[in-house]
Amino acid sequence: MKNITISAQFSVFDTLSELPTDIQNLMAAAIAVRKNAYAPYSKFRVGAALLLDNGNIVLGSNQENAAYPSGLCAERVAVFQAGTLYPDAKILKMAITAASDTHQTNAPIPPCGSCRQSIAEYEIKQDYPIDIYFMGEIGSIYQSDSLKNLLPLMFDKKFL
């Protein structure tokens, strides 16, 4: 037996004002669309904003359903919408923010496992890393220069 170490590196911004201007604007769009989340069950609202290489910004918010787990997370709503509306565009940057109706979220909240796999599929498809920024309602923002930091042993088509 041997052990291996897999590490990930993130940049940490203490406040929104520390972000580059284009990312501040992208995060502002994610914060605004977070209010459109349909989250009557979890009371947990997520907003995502994608910047595409064609200059368009695509938005998504989580959408729940009483027939759990039929809903979709904000990240997948945005990624799938980008794939539908702009199938040849690359996703350059993604901003994600999450807030609870019951308490203040002050830690960076990353995409769930299903969203990580979906984002990975698009990152592999476009052969270009997606710069991902994520935060709670307030507090620090984490930045990853690729989905591979969040899912280092990703499953992809080479295993099929």
37 falls within a domain: yes
4 falls within a domain: no
Task: For residue range 89-140, list pLDDT tens digits in order.
Answer: 999 999 999 999 999 999 999 999 999 999 999 999 999 999 999 999 999 9
Q: Residue 157: its pLDDT value, please?
A: 81
90 falls within a domain: yes
pTM of the predicted protein model? 0.95
Rounded Cα distance between 152 and 159, Å, is 15
Active-site position among 64, 75, 121, 137: 75
Which CATH number do you get for residue 117?
3.40.140.10
2 falls within a domain: no
Count up the domains in the chain and report the number: 1
Range of the domain at 103: 12-74+86-150
Q: Residue 158: its pLDDT value, please?
A: 83
81 falls within a domain: no
Q: Is 75 a catalytic residue?
A: yes
Strand locations in the chain (E) = 11-13, 44-52, 57-61, 91-100, 131-135, 141-144
Does residue 75 surpass a pLDDT of 90?
yes
